[in-house]
Amino acid sequence: MFIFIYGQDTYRMKGKLSEIIEEYKKSRKSGLSLKFIDCQKTGIGSFGDFQNDSSQFSMFKEKKLIVVTDPFSDIDFKEKFLKNKENFTKLDDLVVFYQEGEVRKNDSLFKFFEKNALCQNFNLLEGQKLKKWVSDEFEKSGARFGEDAADELCFRVGSDLWRMANEIKKITAFGLGKEIKREDVAVLVRPKIESDIFKTIDAVANGEKQTALQFIRKHIEKGDSPVYLFSMVNYQFRNLLVIKDFVEKRKTYDAILKASGLHPFVVKKGYYLSYKFTLSGLKKIYQRIFQIDLEIKTGRIEPEAALEMLIAEI
């Protein structure tokens, strides 16, 4: 049996994977039939490891659980797996394929999983779904909270559930039995900007300029400096240009991570965003950012108007 777990919400993905592994361990005490293969770290030998593990006889006569992470990052694995797919579909073992980030729907491996695996896509939570998740987590922690506190937390943290879980722990410890209000969240939680800048760029790439402007205006309404927001847009497009240059040179994700010197979060977001732009297009955008930045510094245009103009022009 194949299970395919993928998406951008790595917090819930990790939780689901842990759940599968723990359930397996409960009924298989030996733990010797649990195998892990990391295609990104192992590289070209990952298919050989998978083939050996899947064909290996279990001395305990129990089904194996094989967890394969990042199968889409290894071209060699993909090609050889698909070439031998008929043999693998007959396996009695449970194989979990785990892939973080966006996956191209026209990829041959994705199409195989669509037909032959139990697929679970973990999209980033937004809107009411995110608010419900936050409310549920507050209740699990035993904290008392107002609805406006959950709203404020969603705005300040967004869809990053790793950070959200930590912020909820911090707020709960602060509350010590009293009801948590919006003002408490505003004092305790730093607003996310970097994450929203990526969302803004993603919206622009998808032709959703009104959505991109909404992200910017929300931060301005909350009191964030338009100059700082513009500098963040500048910074992330510069990073995107660096990452795209590596992608054009056919560098692997791991190689980009090492060579760029950028934070893993920035590389991860930028890597997938880079496929939505051409290298020449990014160079033109960055050149325009440089021109607008000069106009801001010389007082020819207000920063807020400059932000809106930039988004409209991209």
pTM confidence score: 0.62
What DSSP string describes 201-255?
Answer: HHHHHTT-HHHHHHHHHHHHHTT--HHHHHHHHHHHHHHHHHHHHHHHTT--HHH
Does the pLDDT of residue 63 top 90, yes or no? no
pLDDT in tens, 258-297: 898 887 778 888 898 899 999 999 999 999 999 998 998 8
Domains 2-122 and 127-188 fall in the same CATH topology: no
Cβ pair 118, 3 in contact under 8 A: yes
- Span between the terminal Cα atoms of the chain, in Å: 46
pLDDT in tens, 123-145: 999 889 999 999 999 989 888 88
> Of how many residues is the chain composed?
314
Q: Does the structural domain 2-122 have CATH classification 3.10.50.40?
A: no
pLDDT in tens, 189-200: 876 776 678 888
In whole angstroms, how far apart are CA 24 and each of 5, 15, 35, 60, 230?
16, 14, 12, 14, 49
Which sequence spans correspond to the domains of the chain?
2-122, 127-188, 194-313
Q: Does the structural domain 127-188 have CATH classification 1.20.1640.10?
A: no
What is the DSSP code (8-state) at residue 142? T
CATH code for the part of the protein at 194-313: 1.20.272.10
Mean pLDDT computed over every residue of the chain: 87
Does the pLDDT of residue 188 top 70, yes or no? yes
